[in-house]
Structure 1
């Protein structure tokens, strides 16, 4: 038995050794599995790079037993540089599996937690490189997937962070789920953001050196520092020079700081921190916590401003000291359609000397208003949680969505004073107490006992009448306002809304349009036909072919919202049809057609004052959509084709609110099927949030076209003057060339040189002054700033165009992206067919996303959809 026992012990020992696992070098192959327990002797590490610089492991960065992640780790310093399942941690029993389909992570019960995206070819091997890149290879050693393409909170030497990618901080050092902060790479700078609000820029740091005005293409670190590269890495836009080091990382820390560190001994040495002042970080002191000067050894000092106290002993968040006041919750978290009841709203002042981190990075929502107006704007908006008012400029800043920390202000910021919006709790009588004259809360009023039955009866009658009105089928002649919910046209549901546009039968619109005989326009939604109603009034009937709502009631609800919007600069919706699968909209007829036909056509030239009226009218219409409606409406497709002209060239915006009628799959159509893509803001390219500032960008592009009388992306004769000193915009031209011109870049260059008259429509022949053109060009360039926060809102744009506010001066660092777009546009034009038509112009944003500019087909560029650029929205 002795030898058999020894053999058994040897087998058991061998099994235990195999169970603990060995660390593989550089490569592992499919049908491989790893867990922390299987590789417990190596702290979960199962794969090392060729020289052992990096390791891959099922790793627990903190002490929580459920927080295990697939990580790539710098071995010497034990620093995590990448993690896979940050938002889906597993326990020590969780398993990583490598198959021919890729990598997947499951928990101890086999439940799916994370996997790589679907791959085009089967996986042959998983490799960990000496740069820390985890790569899936096919049998030809081609890369199918790599971790460098999906950065988390860190980049290392050898890794690039291109424009459009971002870093997200971890929740904490032990919890690698996505935290509060994000690093975003813009066209001219690196930004740190919280809740999509910028709180720091790399260019702000004294150690950051701006080297050129090229458009940034990617960020990288190397042995000598941090760099923002442009022009295929041949130009440096911003650099931070550091001491030479063979290993260096740039990490967006959970604290909200960008930290650059280099390897020294067995640890990372901190070389650069931004922002260095932690009081600039949004949540340093929690919600409404007041951050004082940061102590280098003890960190920031947190307290609560007057009228506030700490919400508990375990948090730095502050709440009103008076229990009758409570902080509101943004309607992003409740009902977006809510409007705050201003009678229940109050404001607690913060006093002078206290500022908010976002104020220096956002544009005031209003200029030239008093404090009461500023607070009124906030009171009627459930997104607004507070305001700051700047006395010197009479500017109103709003705090939205979520509140961060406060900080002591310095310098010019001392002129701002803040107010936090609160809701007043209503006091209710305590009916459980004895009826005693000394008890202020006791004693139900006798008059209430007498009036209560009559009040109840009145309410019952009123509610009954309201129900009767809403349930009745309202008719106006032949035109039924009720909207059927079933496919049968005769089955009418009791659904009506006061003020709803008239509901037409399909046959009535067939008769009105002579069976849709005269087409007067077309677009992404469908065709538009001229019609005449029985009362002899002219209408434009739009047949929607790409609607996305699933029911007639949903369609009617959206039409009710659009139909209840009335403004002199918005095309009026007369009625609609929702019958079977037919969806039609009936608009007032605009006898002068769309702006593009008048502006770019061969008819009489628009005089300058007519252009001014059109621009101001369009701006007023957009301002009303953004701020004057009960629900903010973002047009998303502002361009001359959607600006219609009536008598005396009165401008009216059409198609507002119609993006609501498209499904997510169809939502890209209304920006591609109409051809020209020159009005899409950079947000569409970078997948950033689409806001009212997206319309501001589009309006800025339209304003440049109004000035020049030509499309921004067009085949034109570009003129050049021989006289370099002729900055007054004279017309003495000595040469010209035929080609594709990206006019916004030309406008930027002429603005830099002060040669504004060269931007004016030459058909005006001197009937406009340089000062008049300068005003419009400056407003337009302010509208097309790359960063949405730097663009004025439409209310401000109206005031600047009307002369009530001085027009802003464009910030050149936020317009450098136009140089990149212009260069790409020029490159594209050299390979396009000479018969390129204006109606199929490429927006350079689409070209900017391509890795190659070589193509033999101009149609390929013309019809790139917004989903191809930035993914579905």
Structure 2
């Protein structure tokens, strides 16, 4: 009996650890699983309803050292999610499901991974037919989902929101977090390697931009890869794909983002691949490996560039050929100190016709005069490991922190020169070469000095001629000082956009012939670059004694701010006393021309799109870029319109750039009367809420189609007392529209505020929405005004529409009375002028006098 009993125990033991029973759809708490327990099902313990997905304790590639809690797409055996990717376990370690969530234990009972604290007890773990692993409470409410914590893959039905990312695995068998990331931003999807961008979805040839909305998430479906906005109701970017039954998008271990489709019979490989050429990924050929494009049917090839040879198996890529040199690590003071030991630094040339993987997407560090200055910038920066210099443009690109592969440029020809920093005992030099100790003939020793003397004389003559020309140019530009430390090429400012010569801009604008606008910062002229690109060239004035370096520092910050609702800065010019900015050309001009001009009236949808675009641009300036920017001069003249009336804010960053700790302390910036917030008059702190007030005033003008302080008619149904309270002069028809809007809002008569030129093509509800948002924006107390992100939410409909606080809008009644008084003064002034000059027209005189008096009386001293 005893042997039979022992044999029965052994059978029970093995039956326990080899359950081979896969639960369907869900399991309940107090569940434990190990790989050995479910070894006959390859570690799978839970399947979706139709068996499309499995949850398993899985060992990729059948290796026996790393096991992961995974969700697997069964038909393709693709891992779409892994829990403990950076904390693998062994085949005997356990996964526990309790009422507190999922916990993965190591054999010594140390926790390797767990779900975060949950708001209520877990009732079940469910695997959906879309591949989502979900923890549910007793009411079937989701407590935690794997879809909300993606690893390197998304599937149909899953969203990848802004601010989240996919991270590649190290290899197909090691799921640990790799070096590549796919990030979703408010305007794009980008691939990065150690912080260096090497691909953008928006730059893919078959990616179509359907709208200018802000991106909210990425998703894939049966027909497309999309970037969505407005809670999925608007497609911002779309890549059309072949129809498929099921689709998976994965960031592969080699850094390529792939979309694969599954039809039920097999994979259709590479529905989409980005980048589509392996050479454009950062590490295809290892460190400093030269990647050469292959034929269409072959993969790229890897070589080492001149002055380098293949490294060891431990160091993939290429290393200096000469044993006298070694490659430094970034800011490794034990090897290299850029400040004190630069004599040990040399540069090895990479050869011609090459390019670095990230230069297409990186900002130029600076525009320099020659190669030596680019080298000096790198030598002074310990994180710099090399640089690329472009002869034609003078662009200098710095390679920092990590070195990836290099690649042959298209066609094998390129004016870019690449150099890699190395450490050695020889003197610093560009392209150091060994020399042979050969004896030279006596005749050569005589001829060389004579030839050198003649060449030196010729060079001296050319230099003198160029110097005189340069001096004449400086006098023409108004700069009588010698070119010294203020020259752009003598200081280092990261992120500067393209630098233009003054002569280039004179030619581009036909000697500044076509004036297209003017403002507080200068006049704007239309121009055309040699590549036929239209630009707007602004000649900056009123910058005081700001030096060239200060100017370029601000331009570097402005040039790095990119948003679909901000005018793009394409370049700048800083020569002598000339300061010019080159912007993208906006073919519909400024909003005031379309809104107040004599052309066709803007339709309501166009007005709404302009309001929403402007709000998004301001929200980005206030909270979306690295350095908070308060515009301080939001008005229709600074809102430019492009095709389809896409709104873009201009002149941002020129008033003042503020850090977060400074933003509540600055009180001396300038703006435009009629759009100035009340805090300007009380010397209160100026914050981003000042821009919110100005936006509210612009919003009211969009509703009415006229200036807030302008000539206009009122509805015949209003009685005389209403006209008086609204700040209206019955003789001239001058109306202070913000007060009129407040009074109509109090009576629920919003439709009477709409531009009469719309002719009934707008509803009362549509007008009410903009009027309520506008009145909330112009609250007297800044703290009661919504921030611009909330304004965007209210306009889009994702945030409930707020109700204006009437007690914080009563100051408009005081403004209305001052307006009425100013109107009377204007009428008296007009009558007096007409008595002296009968030829003057009544309307013109009234407007002229009023424009001078009312703007001062209403806005107060500045």
TM-score surpassing 0.5?
yes
1:844 aligns with 2:823: no
- Cα drift, residue 223 of structure 1: 1.4
**8 Å Cα contact 2:779/2:785 also seen in 1:** no
| Contact preservation (8 Å) 1:678, 1:844 | no
- Give the 3 Å change call, closer, same or farther, for CA 336–139 of structure 1 in structure 2: farther
Q: More displaced, 16-25 or 125-134?
A: 16-25
Structure 2 unaligned residues grouped into runs of 5+: 428-485, 487-518, 524-538, 557-618, 629-649, 659-668, 677-689, 713-734, 740-768, 806-862
Q: Which residue of 2 aligns with 1:835?
A: 779
State the match for 1:360 in structure 2: 360
Write the distance in 2 (CA, Å) between the matches of 1:173 and 1:51: 27
Sort the Cα spacing of 1:413 and 1:202 in 2 relative to 1 into closer, same or farther, 3 A: farther
User: Please, which moves more after superposition, 144-153 or 828-837?
Assistant: 828-837
Kindly tell me: are residues 263 and 607 of structure 1, through their superposed partners in 2, closer, same or farther at Cα, counting changes over 3 Å?
closer
Is 1:418 aligned to 2:418, yes or no?
A: yes
Alignment of 1:437-586 (within 5 A): none
> Aligned match of 2:693 in 714, 724, 727?
714
- 8 Å CA contact 2:22–2:44 kept in 1: the answer is yes
Q: Which residue does the alignment assign to 2:546?
A: 617
Compare 239-248 and 86-95 and name the one that shifted more: 239-248
Bigger RCO (CA 8 Å, 6+ sep)? 1
Q: Distance in 2 between matches of 1:102 and 1:714?
A: 48
Per the TM alignment, residue 425 of structure 1 is displaced from its structure 2 partner at its CA by: 3.8
Q: What is the rounded CA distance, in whole Å, between the counterparts of 2:736 and 2:161 in structure 1? A: 37
Matches of 1:125 and 1:836, distance apart in 2 = 52
Q: How many angstroms apart in 1 are the aligned matches of 2:7 and 2:14?
A: 10
User: In structure 2, do the counterparts of structure 1 residues 397 and 82 end up closer, same or farther at CA, with 3 Å as the change threshold?
Assistant: same
Is the alpha carbon distance of 1:240 and 1:721 closer, same or farther for their aligned partners in structure 2, counting shifts above 3 Å?
closer
SS at match of 1:404: coil
Q: Over residues 668-689 of structure 1, what are the superposed CA-to-partner deviations in whole Å (9 max), with x where a residue is unaligned?
A: xxxxxxxx9954344599xxxx
Equivalents in 2 of 1:684, 1:8: separation in Å? 74
Size of the aligned set, in residue pairs, is 539
Tell me the secondary structure at the aligned position of residue 248 of structure 1: strand
Aligned to 1:476: none
Q: Distance in 1 between matches of 2:35 and 2:86?
A: 18
Q: Please state if 1:702 is matched with 2:648.
A: no
Q: Give the superposed CA RMSD.
A: 4.4
Report what 1:342 is aligned to: 342
The residue that corresponds to 1:34 in the other structure is 33
Query: Cα offset for 1:166?
Result: 0.9
How far is the alpha carbon of 1:297 from its aligned partner? 5.3
- The question of 1:148 aligning with 2:77 is answered no
Instruction: Please name the residue that 2:593 is paired with.
Output: none
Structure 2 Cα separation of the partners of residues 243 and 285 of structure 1: 32
Query: CA 1:151 to 1:723, structure 2 compared with 1: closer, same or farther past 3 Å?
Result: closer
**Superposition pairs of residues 740-819 of structure 1, within 5 angstroms:** none
Judged with a 3 Å threshold, the aligned counterparts in structure 2 of structure 1 residues 708 and 357 are, in CA distance, closer, same or farther, namely farther
Partner of 1:431: none
Mapped to 1, the partners of 2:93 and 2:551 lie a distance apart of 53
Distance 1:721 1:682, change over 3 A: closer
Deviation at 1:845, TM superposition (A): 4.6
What secondary structure sits across from 1:193 in the alignment? strand
In the TM superposition, what whole-angstrom CA distance separates every residue of 1:818-863 from its partner, at most 9, and x where no partner exists?
Answer: xxxxxxx97993694863534665543577799952376999xxxx
Structure 1 residue 55 displacement after superposition? 0.5
1:68 Cα shift? Answer: 0.7
Query: How far 1:121 moved relative to its partner?
Result: 1.1
- Deviation string, structure 1 residues 404-424 (Cα, Å, up to 9, x no partner): 100011279812111111122
State the 1:732 CA deviation: 8.4
* Residue number among 9, 15, 19 corresponding to 2:17 in the alignment: 19
Show the counterpart of 1:176: 175
Q: Distance in 2 between matches of 1:838 and 1:618?
A: 35
Kindly report which structure 2 residues correspond to 1:78-93, keeping only aligned pairs within 5 A, or say none. 78-93=77-92
Does the 8 A contact of 1:340 with 1:382 survive in 2?
no
Q: CA deviation at 1:623?
A: 6.4
Tell me by how many angstroms 1:358 deviates: 1.1
Following the alignment from structure 1 to structure 2, what is the Cα–Cα distance between the partners of residues 197 and 110? 40
CA 1:706 to 1:89, structure 2 compared with 1: closer, same or farther past 3 Å? Answer: farther
CA contact (8 A) 2:389 2:417 kept: yes
Q: Which residue in the other structure is 1:76 paired with?
A: 75
Distance 1:619 1:347 in 2: 31
Residue in structure 2 matched with residue 123 of structure 1 by the alignment: 122
- Go from structure 1 to structure 2 and tell me whether the alpha carbon gap of 1:849 and 1:325 turns closer, same or farther (over 3 Å shift): farther
State the Cα distance separating 1:372 from its structure 2 match: 1.2
1:643-687, Cα deviation, whole Å (9 max, x unpaired):
xxxxxxxxxxxxxxxxxxxxxxxxxxxxxxxxx9954344599xx
Q: Tell me what 2:383 maps to.
A: 383
Per-residue deviation, 1:209: 2.7
Q: Is the 8 A contact 1:23 1:46 kept in 2?
A: yes
Q: 1:321 deviation in Å?
A: 1.1
Assess, with a 3 A threshold, how the Cα gap between structure 1 residues 25 and 827 changes in structure 2: closer, same or farther.
farther
Note if contact 2:778-2:785 (Cα within 8 Å) is conserved in structure 1: no
Cα distance in structure 1, aligned partners of 2:325 and 2:316 = 19
Counterpart of 2:246 in structure 1 is 247
Structure 1: unaligned runs, 5 residues or longer? 428-566, 568-604, 628-675, 686-695, 740-824, 860-873
Q: Cα offset for 1:621?
A: 4.7
Task: Please report the TM-score for the alignment, with normalisation by the length of structure 2.
Answer: 0.56
Distance 2:204 2:522 in 1: 45
Aligned partner of 1:680 in structure 2 is: 623
Q: Distance in 1 between matches of 2:264 and 2:77?
A: 12
* Cα pair 1:30 1:99 within 8 Å, conserved: yes
Q: Deviations over 1:606-626 (max 9, x none)?
A: 997999555873984596799
Query: Aligned partners of 1:273 and 1:848: how far apart in 2?
Result: 34
Counterpart Cα distance in 2 of 1:102 and 1:193: 33
C-alpha contact 1:353 1:414 (8 A) present in aligned 2: yes
Instruction: Decide whether the 8 Å contact of 1:61 with 1:174 is kept in 2.
Output: yes
1:281-430 paired onto structure 2 within 5 Å: 281-295=281-295, 298-312=298-312, 316-331=316-331, 339=339, 341-410=341-410, 414-425=414-425
Alpha carbons of structure 1 residues 350 and 120: separation in structure 2 relative to 1, 3 Å: same
* Cα distance, 1:36 vs structure 2: 0.6
Contact 2:776 2:786 in 1 (8 A): no
State the 1:397 CA deviation: 1.1
Offset at residue 120 of structure 1 (A): 1.2
Task: Give 1:206's aligned residue.
Answer: 205
Given that residues 338 and 380 in structure 2 are in contact (C-alpha distance below 8 angstroms), is that contact kept between their aligned partners in structure 1? no
- Structure 1 residue 697, shift from structure 2 partner: 12
Distance 1:245 1:138 in 2: 34
CA distance in 2, matches of 1:133, 1:142: 14
Check 1:7–1:105 CA distance in 2 against 1; reply closer, same or farther (3 A cut): same
SS in 2 for 1:173: coil
Q: 1:100 to 1:425 in 2, by over 3 A?
A: farther
- Deviation string for 1:342-361 (max 9, x for gaps)? 22221111232010011111
1:113 maps to which residue?
112
SS of residue paired to 2:15: helix
Q: Following superposition of structure 1 onto structure 2, how do residues 263-282 of structure 1 map, counting pairs within 5 Å?
A: 263-265=262-264, 267-270=266-269, 271-282=271-282
Larger Rg: 2
Question: Contact 1:831 / 1:855 at 8 angstroms: preserved in 2?
Answer: no
Contact 2:180 2:191 in 1 (8 A): yes
Alpha-carbon distance in structure 1 between the residues aligned to 2:27 and 2:6: 30
* 1:285–1:828 Cα change, 3 Å: farther
Change (3 A) 1:723 1:697: closer
Tell me by how many angstroms 1:721 deviates.
9.0
Deviations 1:44-74 (A, max 9, x none): 1111111111000111113432211110001
Tell me by how many angstroms 1:251 deviates: 0.5
- Residue of structure 2 in register with 1:853 after alignment: 799
How far 1:318 sits from its partner (Å)? 0.9
Taking the aligned partners of 2:336 and 2:786, their CA distance within structure 1 comes to 36
> How far 1:266 moved relative to its partner?
6.2
